[in-house]
Amino acid sequence: AGMEAIPETIKVNGNTRPEIYDPASKTIVYEDQGSFADTLNLSITYVAGVSDTVSPGNLIINEASAEATVDDEVLPIKTSTSAVPVIESATYYFLPFAVSP
């Protein structure tokens, strides 16, 4: 079980930026220049993949960390952990149909 970012949903300050995501290392690298007061808003949508043996109700734990450099000084690393419950999904769908003589 695990979670991965969907590249097409990665946005920086409202602009879609899928190219900053490396799926091999599951990292996002973004470099920008500006004053310290500039705001950086990052939005990411994740997709979870689980095996058939995972029972509904279990949690997928995802941990993300980030760091920033301002004037060549590395700021403290921020870590975020989120838990997503596994829900049961339908495997089969039945479509109604009518048979006339």
The structure tokens 């060549």 sit at 72
Q: What is the pLDDT of residue 71?
A: 77
Q: What is the pLDDT of residue 21?
A: 92
For residue range 1-16, list pLDDT tens digits in order.
567 889 999 999 899 9
